[in-house]
Amino acid sequence: MEYQELGNKLNELLRLENEPVAIKWSVKEPKNVKKEEGKSKFCAKLVKAQNGEIFYGTLEEEECMGGARYSGLKSMSDYPANVQSGAFMIPKGLYKNIPAVQRSRKDENYIDPGIFSAVIFAPLKRAEFEPDVIFMICNAQQGMEILHANAYDSGEHGLGADAVPICSSMAATPYMTGKVTYGFGDVAARENMDLLKEDIMVSIPGGDLSRLVSNLSEMRTKAFFKEESLLN
C-alpha cells in the first residue's frame, strides 16, 4: 500500500476527525515541495499540514526556539545564555528554577544539529514521500487502539511522553527511538494548536505504519475491537 492509501485506511479504521500529518527530515531543501511562506512555530506547522498544506521549512521559517533546536535545525550552543539555562521559562511558570529546567532537558530527545536543512510536512493521505514520523491528534479511545495495534504482533509498549515541547516528544522522540509515542502535549503547543481538552497526541514511526494498519484491520475481526463493541 502507498502512504496515501495507508492514510485513508487509517482514517477509516479509527474514524479520525483530524488528518494525520506526515513529517520527513531532509538533508537538502526539496525541489518538488514548496517552501513555507513566512515564519511559524513547529506546532503551527503541524496544524497547517493537518488542514491540507504541503510544504517544507528551514531554520529561516522556524519561529520557535524549541522547534529549531529539537528538530535539529539549530544547535543549543548557538542560543544566548538565558535560553541555554532555561531562565526565560521560569517567569512563564513552566519550571520553578534553572536546576529543574536542566534536569528536564537531560532526558529530552532532539535531532542532532548540522545534519538536516529542512523538515517536510504534509497530510498523510497526500504525502508523496516516505514519512519519518506520522503525527496524530485523536481521542483517548483512538489512541488506545493504536497502542493495542502496536503491541498486537510485537508485544512492544509505546512511550508515554511528558509535558515537554511536542517538537521533542511527538517528533524527535519517535524519530530517535523508533517507538510509538503518546501524550498530551505541552501547554504552549496545546494553546497554539487550539486543541480541545479531550484531545491527545500519538506519533508513529513511518516504518511502522503499514504494520499498524494491517493489525488494526485484523483486530476489527476480534471480540474486543469489533465496531459494535467499541460503540457500546
Distance CA 51, CA 176 (A): 26
pTM: 0.94
User: H or E stretch including 26?
Assistant: strand 21-26
Residue type, 17: E
pLDDT at site 1 = 59
pLDDT of residue 4: 85
19 three-class SS:
coil
pLDDT at position 39, please? 96
What is residue 169's DSSP assignment?
I
Q: What is the pLDDT of residue 111?
A: 96
Separation CA 141–CA 198 (nearest Å): 11
Query: Under the phi-then-psi rule, with left for phi > 0, alpha for psi from -120 to 50, and beta for the rest, what region is 180?
Result: beta
- Digitized pLDDT (tens) for each residue of the chain, 232 residues in all: 588 899 999 999 999 999 999 999 999 999 999 999 999 999 999 999 999 999 999 999 999 999 999 999 999 999 999 899 999 999 999 999 999 999 988 889 999 999 999 999 999 999 999 999 999 999 999 999 999 999 999 999 999 988 899 999 999 999 999 999 999 999 999 999 999 999 999 999 999 999 999 999 999 999 889 876 555 5
- Would you say 150 and 208 are in contact if contact means Cβ atoms under 8 Å apart? yes
Question: What is the rounded distance in angstroms from the CA atom of residue 211 to the CA atom of residue 127?
Answer: 18
